[in-house]
Amino acid sequence: GAGAGGSGPNPPACSRANVTVTDLEELQELLMVNIENNRHLVTGSVRAKVLKWGEDVTEFQPPPDYILMADCIYYEESLEPLLKTLKDLTGPDTCVLCCYEQRTMGKNPEIERKYFELLQMDFELEKIPLDKHDEEYRSEDIHIVNIHRKQT
């Protein structure tokens, strides 16, 4: 989900891309505001669409070149639907960049461990070293993982 942040239309690599930002129905209005506020950064197209994890993704086909995920690992009940959606959306050449804040309170460490354990059943993971993160946003508790489908 693109959520409240402007992560969808902002990445420099997306400046000439056709971008679809997704989230639940109740966040579509906020997505549209973020798109309008950042339209000057993108020469390609940007559109907002509803995507509920675990549901049909036919309208998002063919598989995208990139999927950017930001802070999508937060409660256990969402893990299976999120993983199903990732499997359904990705093709053999899709690059998924997953950025998340490592949280140490409550059930979060266990949820994070389970997510990556399940993810590795179908995907190859490569943690991006901290020294490769943008200096302005670099933080010890922010992690970026490059994810690709396992070749069958």
Residues 67 and 47 grouped into a single domain: no
Residues 41 and 73 grouped into a single domain: no
Using CA atoms, how far apart are residues 65 and 26, in angstroms rounded to an integer? 27
pLDDT in tens, 25-73: 999 999 999 999 988 888 888 999 999 999 999 999 999 999 999 988 8
**Taking Cα atoms as reference points, which of 89, 100, 96 lies closest to residue 146?**
96
Residues 18 and 61 grouped into a single domain: no
Residues 71 and 44 grouped into a single domain: no
Residue ranges in 16-78 assigned as alpha helix (H): 28-38
Residues 45 and 69 grouped into a single domain: no
pLDDT in tens, 102-151: 887 767 888 999 999 999 999 999 999 999 999 998 999 999 999 999 98
pTM (2 d.p.): 0.83
Least confident of 3-7, 77-81, 130-134: 3-7
Say if residue 2's pLDDT is above 70.
no
Sequence letter at residue 48: A
